[in-house]
Chains A and B, each alone.
Chain A
Amino acid sequence: MASRRSTRQDAEHGVRFSRTLFIALLVVSGALIAFDRPASRSAPFAGFRATFTDVAAPLLDLAAQPLRGIKNIGPYWRRQGELAEENARLRQQLIEARYWEDLAYRQRDRIEVYEDALDVESAAIEDRIGAWTVADPRGPFVRARLIGRGSEAGIRDGYPVINLYGLVGRVYETGRRSARVLLLTDLNSRVPVMADRSNARAILVGDNSEFPRLDYVGRAPDIRPGDRIVSSGDDGILPRGLPVGEAVATRDGGWRVRLYSDQAPVDFVWVWPYERVTPPDQEVEPEQPPTLGTGDDAGTGIDEDVDDAPAGAADDTGGASATEEAP
């Protein structure tokens, strides 16, 4: 009886269904669920997941090849009769695009002058890292995509991911040759955004629907239907001004966003190696040469350092502090 309980044969031609093993696996599953929560995932779990996706990514990439070959087959088939009309429209758009291209070059030159004057550096377009989507799980628990580039290509956690039309999400799990991108629609996605027209701030909250919600907009937000929503960069993680989508009013008086990135299948994306802005209290102090002052002065505070600094540097610092103190 005891042996029958412990290793039930169930007359299944030799298959052993051990109750002890079954219970042990249940316990392991429960422990994994408890310790692998996305909100509080530990480094070993994250590392294991990244290693696994590294191994699986080439296989998934191989499986995605035929799908890429037949992508958009539906719209293409539907548009067969409209090709001539579409061609004429595209030619018109090309003429308009040339004007915008000229304008963009002029603006780029102007921005470079401003950036030089302000001593600001922004990531150039060519710095972006292109990657193919190799897996696209759209289950009930996560809205994420696996891309076929990882830390070897310079990708790090937190980097924004964009496609041709706008922000797609951000990297949240990086392996050596693969990375997982948390989409804006995921339950765990929170992105500070603003209306381009009015600079009205909000938080874009994913809720697994196609249209993420705008939260914390205030009582009378200066947002209108159709407003262009861009990243505000308030979190210091994403750069300011990345196009996100269009504001859409809901029936209950709330706001949602129709994502630009949904205009086309997200198969090829760019990862933007944007380094987050480090808060002053977390900045790593650069190694400074020993000051000429006494040992008591060293490291006691900024004011003392400014006093010891050369005249030009002191002027610069003084200018900065004057700016900060201005109302």
Chain B
Amino acid sequence: MRKPTERSSPWLAASGCIASVLVALIVQASPTRLVDGLTIMPTWTLMAIFLWAGVRPQFMPPVAVFAIGLTQDLLTGAPMGVWALSYLVAISVFRFRGEDGMPRDLPPVLLRFGATLLLAHGIAFAAGSFALEQMADLQPLIIEIIASILMFPLPAYLVLRRRRSRGSGFIGG
């Protein structure tokens, strides 16, 4: 019988992590307004960071979180450092600690993500307002938060289901 650690290649998991973050970043910056009715997107990037930091913490060290935030700043045209700072602080504060990492039940994960989301957007609002030298627009932030809270249960459920089926603490490990 194969050990849990042998069930999936870490390279495969790393590829999945990079691919999911890249897709999240591109979707975040893509011209969604071309499609009728879709204007503001949820923060897919934060979802990807949060979930990977929960299931594979070694893939999401502070440098990676910072780099992802900075890439989002550059792709979206925001002042550099705004999302980098907010993701870095929010993930550092609310990441899952302990041997088991992210719990296998959905409600605590949703609760933790909600807190991460609020902190990240709060910091982004403050930092963005500072960079712009005027109050940033609060409405898109609020819509983003609501959209993210509505959308997050689906990827979170899929990730937790995969974790439970593997019986291992970490995806691919």
Contact = CB atoms under 8 A, between A and B. Distances in A.
16 contacts: A13-B169, A13-B173, A15-B57, A22-B88, A22-B92, A39-B133, A135-B31, A137-B78, A138-B39, A138-B40, A139-B76, A140-B137, A140-B140, A141-B131, A141-B137, A266-B33
Contacts of A17: 61-62, 92
Interface of B: 26-37, 39-40, 57-58, 60-63, 66, 69-70, 74-82, 84-85, 88-89, 92, 97-99, 101, 124-125, 127-128, 130-134, 136-141, 144, 169-170, 173
Q: Which of A64, A75, A144, A266 has the most CB of B within 10 A?
A: A64
Given A14-B58, A63-B27, A146-B77, A33 B36 contact: no
Contact of A25 (B63, B124, B132): B63
A326 B23 CA distance: 65
Interface residues of A, number: 62
Interface string A1-27: 000000000111111111001100110
B133 A37 contact: yes
A137 B137 contact: no
Nearest to B43: A139
Interface in A146-203: 146, 173, 180, 187-188
A56 interface: yes
Contacts of A34: 130-131
A133 interface: yes
Nearest to A133: B31
Contacts of B26: 59-60, 63
B31 A12 contact: no
B81 A67 contact: no
A42 to B, nearest CB: 12
Contacts of B98: 10-11
A145 B31 contact: yes
A14 B33 CA distance: 42
Contact of A138 (B33, B36, B130, B131): B33
Contacts of A122: none
A60 B33 contact: no
Say whether chain B's binding surface is mostly helix, strand, loop, or mixed. helix
Contacts of A13: 57-58, 101, 169-170, 173
A52 B132 contact: no
Q: Which of A30, A32, A180, A188 has the most CB of B within 10 A?
A: A32
Contacts of A12: 57-58, 97, 101
B50 to A, nearest CB: 15
Say whether chain A's binding surface is mostly helix, strand, loop, or mixed. mixed
A94 B134 CA distance: 47
A36 B128 CA distance: 11
Contacts of B39: 138
Given A13-B170, A64-B30, A32 B84 contact: yes
Contacts of A59: 26
A102 B151 CA distance: 53
Contacts of A72: 34, 36
Interface in A58-104: 59-60, 63-64, 67-68, 70-75
A280 interface: no
Contacts of B82: 33, 141
A284 interface: no
A259 to B, nearest CB: 13
Contact of A187 (B125, B130, B134): B134
A28 B63 CA distance: 11
Nearest to B29: A135
A141 B78 CA distance: 6
Given A25-B62, A140-B128, 7 more contacts: A22-B62, A22-B92, A28-B66, A63-B26, A135-B31, A137-B28, A208-B137
Contacts of B127: 33
Contacts of B131: 33-34, 36-38, 141
Contacts of B85: 26, 29-30, 33
Contacts of B61: 15-17
